[in-house]
Amino acid sequence: MLFSSEFLIRFSHCDPAGIVYFANFFDMINAVVEDWFSQALGTPFQSLHADRNVSFPVVSTQCEFSSPCRLGDKLALELSVAHLGQSSLTLTIRGRVAREEKLRARHTIAMISLDSYRAVAIPEDLRARIGAYVEEAPAPG
């Protein structure tokens, strides 16, 4: 299953060359993860913090930018789960404007306790809902 959010490219996202400043794409990547937790997994970030005392900081991220985005573009970011570990998950995020691919990211976050700032295991209820977005392995030949 894929989760998707759309982002309007605004004036404030663009740089003197008239294209999106790359760091702003990471803000949108964070936003699609936030929307996924809130809209698809049923655990918005604020309840993760307040009710479970955990957070999901970024462990590593990697992004290829294949084509620039411009003011007024509508960037669709599609998210799926490439790997679900004990306390971490690696997401695949693809960005498209209409049919043109703009970026492809591999983004790893891990659940930590806000008391210890150490990794903790993702609880079963959340793990089950995340599982629905794990990418299927290609069928064997």
Strands annotated E in the chain = 3-8, 54-55, 58-65, 74-84, 88-97, 100-110, 112-113
**Smallest distance, a copy of itself to C-beta of residue 130, A:** 18
Cβ at position 140, least distance to a copy of itself in Å = 30
Give the integer Cα–Cα distance in Å for 68 and 6.
Answer: 16
State whether residue 92 is helix, strand or coil.
strand
Residue 126 binds a copy of itself (CB under 8 A): no
27 binds a copy of itself (CB under 8 A): yes
Q: Does 42 bind a copy of itself (CB under 8 A)?
A: no
Query: Dihedral, CA atoms, 65, 6, 61, 110, nearest 10 degrees?
Result: -170
Do 133 and 122 contact (CB within 8 A), yes or no?
A: no
Closest CB 71 distance from a copy of itself, rounded Å: 4
Q: Which stretch binds a copy of itself (CB under 8 A): 64-72, 89-97, 120-128, 133-141?
A: 64-72
- Which residues contact a copy of itself by CB under 8 A? 10-12, 14-19, 21-24, 26-27, 30-31, 34, 38, 44-46, 49, 55, 57-65, 68, 70-72, 114, 117
